[in-house]
Amino acid sequence: MRRSMLGRLAVAACSLSLLAAFAPAAGADTGSGADRHPGRALKRVGYFTQWGVYGRDFQVKDLDTSGTAAKLTHVNYAFGNVGPDGRCFTGNVPGEADAWADYVRPLDATDSVDGVADDWQQPLAGNFNQLRELKAKHPHLKVLISLGGWSWSTHFSDAALTPASRKAFVESCIDLYIKGNLPQDGSRGGPGAAAGLFDGIDLDWEWPGSEGDTDTRFRPEDKHNFTELVREFRTQLDALGRAGKRAYELTAFVPAAPAKIDAGFEVRRVMRDLDFVTLQGYDFHVSGERTTAQQSALYARGDFSVHGTVDAWLRRGAPAQKLVVGMPFYGQGWTGVTGGGDGMGRPASGPAPATWAPGYEDYEALKQLADSGRYRLHRDLRGGHAWLFDGTTLWTYDDPWVLRAKSAYVRERGLGGAMFWSLDADTPDGELITAVDRGLRGR
């Protein structure tokens, strides 16, 4: 709890009551006003970034020591890439793949989940081996490989284009990650080296049928082809699962914008083959825009919001229990903000300076800014979002208060749970994941 930002627990409780008072009725648009899920049954999906082990020095072990692993149901490993040939691949290719981080890099005893240093004879090291050790310590935890992301969705459209290309694409991903047949890299890798590590696949194609990153190809037929691609993944995963007497999960990250939903998703059909989807609950506005705005509000009239995203998917036929709400563990920031007031909705000169990328800052760093006394905290009680403003620089982000409100929304509306991007941005003691966990349990 960030005491310097809000003050007293009584104020927080009052604020939550105000938010509830202004929110739509509990059963609106969802068909459910009751808590249909015990707190522990709700999903808690966290993305672990491959590159976080470098500059941020965020290791898999940190999920254990912070208490985060005990509160998660799923870890999504970000990311696996798709090559120009329409196949899943890995290797050591700058900007394209990092086998060193994935399974080659040896860790010493200090950074190992089990406290034992890696040696050069073992075929699996790096993040993959640490995730295997994490699962051994937390048997409830599932690990999925997430394919794509903003930068690596480049070749999804080509891979999904024909029945033959879809079949080959899915076979390659299952062979590499589910069967664990990793490329040989010295003593690392080889047939079955990562077998049993991944419990399923998360599809993060950004976006079928509409524009994504600058080099990402898209076509009108992506909409149908995505449905068929999901069906191919489901068919092959189920066949492998029957043979091995286990089940594999299939999930997807999906957009907030109704136009992108309609361009890329046959919602009723695709939801039949997906265990659940994680909704984009952030980046509603980004620091590249010329005016400051909220990036992740729970409610926002006439603008993107979490509630609007949930409603858009429900109205198109998605089951409420398969909708997992994305929550940011980072903020979007602007500098050169003019016009006074609280800074929201004002012109800005550009993205705010930040640690890793202009306009993008981890919650851990934003908490330090808030505690410094230099910034003033502002809240939109109707909208359910917060921001910091010092007269020149503004950061919009989710703190524990906002996340508790969102978690209560998930629980009360019978949704599937919460997702977090990304785990390396939380505090060392897991302040944000703890707030969500308590909110999902109704505490």
Instruction: Determine the number of helices (DSSP H) and then strands (DSSP E) in the chain.
Output: 15, 19
Spatial neighbors of 442 by CB under 8 A, at least 6 apart, are 35, 39, 408, 411
Give the count of beta carbons closer than 10 Å to the beta carbon of residue 59.
20
Report the alpha-carbon distance of residue 177 to residue 171 in Å, rounded.
10
CA–CA dist 218, 161 (Å, integer): 10
Domains in the chain, please, with CATH?
35-329+398-440 (3.20.20.80)
Q: Which residues contact 403 (CB under 8 A, 6 or more apart)?
A: 327, 432, 435, 436, 439
Q: Whole-angstrom Cα distance, residue 389 to residue 391?
A: 6
Spatial separation of the C-alpha atoms in residues 5 and 225, rounded to whole Å: 47
Exactly one of 206, 232, 412, 431 is catalytic; name it: 206
Catalytic site includes residue 206: yes
**pLDDT tens string for the chain (443 positions)?**
222 332 333 333 333 333 443 344 333 333 333 333 345 589 999 999 999 999 999 999 999 999 999 999 999 999 999 999 999 999 999 999 999 999 999 999 999 999 999 999 999 999 999 999 999 999 999 999 999 999 999 999 999 999 999 999 999 999 999 999 999 999 999 999 999 999 999 999 999 999 999 999 999 999 999 999 999 999 999 999 999 999 999 999 999 999 999 999 999 999 999 999 999 999 999 999 999 999 999 999 999 999 999 999 999 999 999 999 999 999 999 999 999 999 999 999 999 999 999 999 999 999 999 999 999 999 999 999 999 999 999 999 999 999 999 999 999 999 999 999 999 999 999 999 999 999 999 98
- The vertex-257 CA angle with 423 and 221, nearest 5°, equals 105
DSSP secondary structure code for residue 353 in this structure: P
Three-state secondary structure call for residue 120: coil
